[in-house]
């Protein structure tokens, strides 16, 4: 039976010291490119696999990060995970990804299972988590990054953007185009500070324009196509209807457009619809969707850099709120103009 290749075998074949071979596998960014290439080639030739358990015992580190997301269905989270993973690879770390499907109690159980198996740090989405999540983090002394939101900051490191500010700017855009009867489909507020920020920001913007956000026009439905369809079904179940619907995600907005099509409701002539996230589908649906572009990849990359810095004891300054961009397309009708359809523009309105 062929014996298992060792790190010494790798170093010998690559023509480097044992320490250089170890650094090339553990912290590749600290090794010269030619050395890294020789070590990687030797690893491939020998079929060398590191003994993760032994390494973790020796260093008290697993070189693994846990990342728990609300869902894996939303493209913004998929893009962020990709960016997070790629940056962690470059920093010599791996990532374990899990989803709690917007069930806070499940998040605690997921985190407990992952922590018991051994991780060096945690990346979570948002700032609103059960006390059990923060207690697990404290008990195990794990660094934690809270990604995507900065509106309701709790102890920890936040990397994200302001949903409050984004909601204010979107609602202002809708009001400035002459809409006075505005409904909101923000998601489900319980256990989600990002949804609460959307409601708060929308209400504040409308108030600044002399308008009110009607409680019966705040339709809380899931972040799904069906959630958007349900919002239209509820709003168009009576004759008292809005002229604009602001959705919390592009997924909801596309679902709402689909339901309008099935009901014979013309978008944007009868009802304007806006979304958030600017996923690829937003520019492909008909009519193309007015939305808020958010820095999903940047959130993933910066979260990776921050969690590794916390693990390794390196100080990092505050990131601050990342920039978001309003993108105006055909799904929002300008009631202040005489034309039946407003021209399409790409409006960059940065924070």
Residue stretches of the chain with pLDDT short of 70: 1-3, 50-61, 153-156, 338-351
Task: Measure the CA–CA gap between 281 and 133, rounded to whole angstroms.
Answer: 34
309: exposed, middle or buried (Cβ count in 10 Å: 0-12, 13-18, 19+): middle
Tell me what pLDDT residue 115 has: 87
Fold for 163-294, please state it. Answer: Rossmann fold (3.40.50)
Q: 62-161+296-322 sits in which CATH class? A: alpha beta
Please give the full DSSP string across 3-64, using - where no structure is assigned: PPP-HHHHHHHHTS-HHHHHHHHH-GGGS-HHHHHHHHHHHHHHT----HHHHHHHHS---E
Task: Measure the CA–CA gap between 254 and 287, rounded to whole angstroms.
Answer: 10
How far is CA 319 from its chain centroid? 16
Tell me what pLDDT residue 1 has: 45
| pLDDT, tens digit (0-9, with 9 covering 90-100), for 66-107 | 999 999 989 999 999 999 999 999 999 999 999 998 887 889
Residue pair 228/260 in contact (Cβ under 8 Å)? The answer is: no
| pLDDT, tens digit (0-9, with 9 covering 90-100), for 158-199 | 899 999 999 999 999 999 999 999 999 999 999 899 999 999
Please give the full DSSP string across 129-172, using - where no structure is assigned: --HHHHHHHHHHT--EEEEEE-SS--SSEEEEE-HHHHHHHHHH
Residue 240 token pair = 């008292």
**Which residues neighbour 349 within 8 Å (Cβ) at sequence distance 6 or greater?**
169, 173, 325, 326
Where along the chain do its domains lie? 7-50, 62-161+296-322, 163-294
Note whether 62-161+296-322 and 163-294 share their fold. Answer: yes
pTM for the whole structure: 0.79
Neighbours of 113 (CB within 10 A): 11
């Amino acid at each position: 039976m062929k014996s298992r290749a060792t790190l010494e075998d790798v170093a010998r074949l690559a023509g480097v010291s044992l320490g250089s071979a170890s650094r090339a596998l553990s912290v590749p960014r600290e090794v010269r490119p030619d050395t890294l290439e020789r070590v990687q080639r030797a690893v491939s030739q020998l079929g060398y696999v590191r003994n993760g358990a032994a390494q973790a015992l020796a260093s008290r580190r697993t070189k693994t990060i846990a990342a728990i997301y609300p869902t894996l269905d939303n493209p913004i989270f998929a893009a962020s995970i990709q960016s997070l993973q790629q940056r962690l690879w470059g920093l010599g770390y791996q990532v374990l990804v899990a989803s709690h499907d917007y069930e806070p109690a499940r998040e605690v159980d997921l985190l407990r299972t992952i922590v018991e198996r051994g991780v060096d740090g945690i990346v979570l989405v948002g700032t609103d988590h059960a006390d059990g999540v923060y207690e697990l983090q404290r008990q195990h002394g794990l660094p934690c990054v809270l990604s995507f939101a900065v509106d309701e900051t709790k102890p920890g490191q936040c990397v994200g953007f302001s949903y409050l500010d984004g909601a204010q700017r979107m609602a202002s855009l809708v009001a400035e185009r002459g809409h006075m009867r505005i409904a909101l489909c923000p998601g489900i507020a319980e256990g989600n500070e990002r949804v609460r920020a959307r409601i708060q920001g929308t209400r504040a913007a409308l108030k600044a324009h002399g308008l009110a956000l009607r409680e019966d026009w705040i339709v809380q439905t899931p972040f799904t196509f069906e959630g958007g369809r349900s919002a239209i079904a509820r709003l168009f179940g009576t004759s008292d209807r809005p002229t604009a619907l602001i959705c919390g995600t592009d997924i909801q907005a596309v679902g709402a457009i689909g339901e309008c099509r099935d009901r014979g409701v013309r978008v944007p002539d009868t009802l304007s619809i806006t979304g958030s996230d600017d996923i690829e589908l937003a520019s492909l649906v008909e009519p193309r969707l007015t939305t808020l572009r958010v820095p999903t990849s940047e959130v993933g990359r910066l979260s990776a850099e921050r969690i590794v810095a916390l693990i390794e004891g390196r100080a990092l300054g505050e990131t601050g709120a990342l920039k978001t961009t309003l993108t105006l397309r055909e799904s929002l009708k300008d009631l202040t103009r005489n034309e039946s359809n407003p021209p399409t523009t790409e409006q960059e309105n940065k924070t």
